């Protein structure tokens, strides 16, 4: 079997669009990275993923708090433009809020009601059974082993006309990727680009807005039907 065929078999299907064609995008001493030929997602094959316990232990090293001014400035990169676009007294979900749900607090201070959910810190299943005017998820999607299922679920939870606001660093080029600090985090396993979000917006039939270099808003059509990536 040729090395090319072995590489094609080793990466598995794209975790976002489930397309089978991908090419090696980058390799370092820790992991391999492939890029999907369909949606352009760059992803780390499952063989390099951390176990849930190891992933949780890595998250526990983060020292974000509700009183951290730097953390607040960081989150405001997403919170401020989202608040500018929300109707008064909207109902939202902070998905992947972590142990210190500061983003939810910022949105609540702006007059909105916010539920929170986090797989490791606030695994409230009831929060995933409601419908929302907006869902915000900062520095979360790059951690998802199954972004197809998670994003489809979040999209279903959105009311027609609702907004999904995401914050994640975007892939720019193979040259910049090789020296990118973002890939040094072992819990970062999928990497989106503008092209990937354009694909996702077309799939969801969503209005797409790049608010900042790392802030993306997808607006659900007012008459949207359910969309399933699976």
Q: State pLDDT tens for residues 35-55.
A: 999 999 999 999 999 999 999
**Domains in the chain with CATH codes:** 3-219 (3.40.50.150)
| Closest-CA residue to 106 (of 74, 132, 130, 131) | 74
Secondary structure letter of residue 10 according to DSSP: H
Helix axes 102-109, 69-85, angle to 10 degrees: 50
What distance in Å separates the CA atoms of residue 144 and residue 159, rounded to the nearest whole number?
23
| Closest-CA residue to 107 (of 130, 128, 136, 132) | 136
Please identify which residue in the block is written with the tokens 């039907």: 225
The pLDDT tens digits for 157-170 are: 999 999 999 999 99
Q: Are 128 and 155 in contact (CB under 8 A)?
A: no
**pLDDT at position 142:** 98
Task: Give the other-Cβ count within 10 Å of 65's Cβ.
Answer: 11
pTM summary value: 0.91
| Closest-CA residue to 36 (of 151, 153, 190) | 190
């Amino acid at each position: 079997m040729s090395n090319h065929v072995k590489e094609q078999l080793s990466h598995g299907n794209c975790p976002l669009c489930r397309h089978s064609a991908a090419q090696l995008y980058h390799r370092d001493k820790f992991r391999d990275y492939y890029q999907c030929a369909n949606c352009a997602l760059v992803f780390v094959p499952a063989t390099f993923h951390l176990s849930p316990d190891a992933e949780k232990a890595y998250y526990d090293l983060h020292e974000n708090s509700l009183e951290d001014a730097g953390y607040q400035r960081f989150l405001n990169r997403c919170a401020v433009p989202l608040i500018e676009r929300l109707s008064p007294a909207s109902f939202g979900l902070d998905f992947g809020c972590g142990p210190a749900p500061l983003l939810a607090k910022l949105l609540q201070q702006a007059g909105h009601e916010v539920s929170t959910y986090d797989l490791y810190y606030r695994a409230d299943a009831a929060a995933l059974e409601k419908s929302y005017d907006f869902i915000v998820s900062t520095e979360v999607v790059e951690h998802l082993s199954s972004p197809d299922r998670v994003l489809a679920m979040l999209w279903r939870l959105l009311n027609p006309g609702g907004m999904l606001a995401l914050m994640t660093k975007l892939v720019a080029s193979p040259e910049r990727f090789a020296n990118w600090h973002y890939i040094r985090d072992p819990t970062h396993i999928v990497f989106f680009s503008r092209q990937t979000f354009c694909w996702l917006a077309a799939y969801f039939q969503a209005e797409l807005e790049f608010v900042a270099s790392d802030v993306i808003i997808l607006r659900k059509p007012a008459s949207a039907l359910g969309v399933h990536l699976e």
